[in-house]
Amino acid sequence: MVSLVVIDTSVYVAALLGPAGANRQALRKCLTGEWRPLMGSTLYFEYESVQSRDALFAKCPLTAREREELFDAFLQACKWTKVYFAWRPNLPDEGDNHLVELAVAGGATRILTRSIRDFAGAELRFPGLRAVRPEDLIEGKGR
């Protein structure tokens, strides 16, 4: 089973906004310790930026305070990882490169994302590292 993962902000936001499903299940697996999410400074600042977008969470069933508490709990579950090497250029979208770099630095086997196409055009391949959708990993298709 996957132990170290990188959770893209797209999955985290979808877990907060969408009905119960794979995104929430992925977040739950991180919070219960079944999966260990990696966190680095760039990803942390991306999460912080997303968390501050009140308009994005207008239909979220959680209040701003509850979202903050959930994020704090998520951070407690994370393994903080320093990235010492930039693997660039790599992905067509420069904004996603930090996820690969975090995964490589921390030894993660999966990047959970809603946008797996963004990772398909990678110039560099890392054995054992795959970008997958949460539902594929949960259903056993992303192993």
Residue 86 lies in a domain: yes
How does pLDDT run across 18-61, given as a tens digit for each residue? 877 999 999 999 999 999 999 999 999 999 999 999 999 999 99
| Total domains, the chain | 1
Strands (E), 27-138: 36-39, 79-80, 110-112, 130-132
Residue 143 lies in a domain: no
- Whether the pLDDT of residue 2 is over 70: the answer is no
Q: Which long-range contacts (CB under 8 A, 24 or more apart) does 133-137 make?
A: 133/22, 134/11, 134/22, 134/23, 134/25, 134/26, 135/21, 135/22, 137/2, 137/26, 137/110, 137/112
Give this prediction's pTM.
0.91
The tokens describing 50, both together, are 């997303």
Q: HSE, CB side, 13 Å, CA atoms: give it for residue 117.
A: 0
CATH number at residue 69: 3.40.50.1010
List the domain range (segments joined by +) for residue 94: 4-138
Q: Check: CB of residue 56 under 8 Å from CB of residue 13.
A: yes
